[in-house]
């Protein structure tokens, strides 16, 4: 196997599914890429269940995900982390951001009505209405992080994605002040993911390109919290026949636990790995890991 530059002792990767349904071909591609990258670097691969949003969680989905990963030969290192049990850490990080965050009373409708535009994740860009305080008599719908004014270098986030290449985002114009905590007490994904990646010592985030647009916010939060920035690799998302990102909403079906090899080979093909004569799940990984290693032997070079 080709030697990789990144020190194997340092490498920590992770897969961080939200338990909103069983794994499907789209989430398998993300899981596979993160697992391959960790194993190709002789690193650790952690599993974190992002179960903060109880309204979106589906009973037993986490269990099903864990079972599927095991059936597909992806064994996590160490204990599984559940975000629902880590709320104290999010509170601590939130407290650390007290000087740069503020309560906001705007409803979703009010923000949409301001028509500033849509962020890359489809949410309306926040117009900054409550930056200087909420209107009298209103109560918070959310707590937001104040991002630097447009044109300020601190708010222009630039990073090199190992698959997608160079990416630059001006936070003020792309998303505006973003949510850290919702009025109903739920911690925002952006805050929780940054805190957990740092606490778990994650060096390499490998996930679907649907999260590319969240990365600049996460890097900015890392700067604000004094945390290291991991390297990023965002794999293209799987689309359905209509060209939409595959998800439960767009008709993704659950992976068949009885046919792991078929699904693994399909996911590998989607990642551009050409595998021949694979006859079992262990054989799949034996062959796929060196192929991935060859492609990512120079981790800082884009476009494998």
When asked if residue 212 is in the footprint of ligand GLU (CB under 6 A), the reply is no
When asked if residue 217 is in the footprint of ligand GLU (CB under 6 A), the reply is no
Number of Cβ atoms within 10 Å of the Cβ of 260? 20
When asked if residue 125 is in the footprint of ligand GLU (CB under 6 A), the reply is no
Specify the residue, 39 or 207, whose C-beta has the smaller distance to ligand GLU. Answer: 207
Specify the residue, 27 or 170, whose C-beta has the smaller distance to ligand GLU. Answer: 27
Least CB distance from residue 143 to ligand GLU, whole Å? Answer: 21
Site track for ligand GLU across 138-177, x = CB under 6 A:
----------------------------------------
Q: Which of 12, 16, 124, 273 touches ligand GLU (CB under 6 A)? A: 16
When asked if residue 28 is in the footprint of ligand GLU (CB under 6 A), the reply is no
- Piece of the chain touching ligand GLU by CB under 6 A; list 11-19, 98-106, 118-126, 178-186: 11-19
When asked if residue 193 is in the footprint of ligand GLU (CB under 6 A), the reply is yes
Task: Enumerate residues 6+ apart whose C-beta is below 8 A from 279.
Answer: none
Q: Which of 11, 13, 18, 90 touches ligand GLU (CB under 6 A)? A: 18
Place of tokens 């996460």: 218
Least CB distance from residue 50 to ligand GLU, whole Å? Answer: 4
- Piece of the chain touching ligand GLU by CB under 6 A; list 2-10, 12-20, 61-69, 165-173: 12-20
């Amino acid at each position: 196997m080709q030697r990789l530059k990144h020190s194997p002792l340092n490498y920590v990767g992770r897969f961080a599914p939200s338990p909103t349904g069983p794994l499907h071909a789209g989430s398998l591609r993300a899981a596979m890429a993160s697992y391959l990258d960790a194993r190709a670097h002789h690193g650790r691969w952690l599993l974190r269940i992002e179960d903060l949003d109880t309204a979106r969680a589906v009973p037993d989905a986490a269990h099903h995900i864990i079972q599927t990963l095991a059936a597909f030969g992806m064994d996590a290192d160490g204990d599984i982390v559940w975000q629902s049990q880590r709320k104290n850490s999010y509170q601590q990080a939130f407290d650390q951001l007290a000087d740069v965050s503020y309560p906001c009373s705007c409803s979703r409708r009010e923000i949409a009505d301001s028509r500033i535009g849509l962020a890359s994740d489809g949410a309306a860009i926040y117009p900054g209405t409550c930056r200087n305080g909420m209107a009298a008599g209103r109560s918070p719908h959310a707590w937001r992080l104040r991002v630097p004014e447009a044109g300020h270098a601190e708010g222009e986030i630039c990073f090199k994605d190992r698959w997608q290449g160079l990416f630059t985002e001006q936070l003020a114009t792309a998303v505006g002040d973003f949510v850290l905590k919702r009025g109903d007490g739920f911690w925002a994904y952006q805050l929780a993911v940054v805190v957990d990646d740092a606490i778990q010592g994650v060096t390499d985030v490998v996930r679907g390109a649907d999260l590319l647009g969240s990365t600049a916010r996460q890097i900015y939060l890392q700067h604000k919290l004094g945390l290291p920035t991991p390297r990023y690799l965002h794999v293209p998302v799987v689309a359905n026949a209509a060209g939409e990102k595959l998800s439960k909403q767009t008709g993704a079906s659950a992976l068949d636990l009885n046919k792991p090899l078929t699904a693994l080979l399909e996911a590998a093909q989607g990642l551009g790995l050409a595998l021949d004569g694979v006859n079992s799940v262990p054989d799949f990984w034996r062959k796929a890991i060196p192929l991935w290693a060859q492609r990512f032997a120079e981790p800082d070079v884009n476009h494998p």
